[in-house]
Amino acid sequence: MKRLLGLLVLLVVGVISYQMRYRFVNVFFGNSIIRKLVVHSLFNLPYVRDRLLNQVFRSASH
């Protein structure tokens, strides 16, 4: 019974989180320190950096 209740609570939390996902993202990235940290971390990954820079410069040349 406890297991079923736990799964039900997890399901409800998951559905609510999914429905409010954009609000969570806005609150998370609304903090400038966290936003700078995430952008800096992503640009330290060579694959992400190369893909983003290629898209920026490819679209600028067309």
> Any idea where the domains of the chain sit in the sequence?
1-30, 32-62
Average pLDDT over residues 4-18: 95
Average pLDDT over residues 13-35: 92
Cut 0.75: pTM above it: no
What does the pLDDT read at residue 44?
92
Task: Report which of 20, 52, 26, 54 is spatially closest to residue 39, judged by C-alpha positions.
Answer: 52
Please, which pLDDT band fits residue 59 given cuts at 50, 70 and 90? low
d(CA 38, CA 30): 12
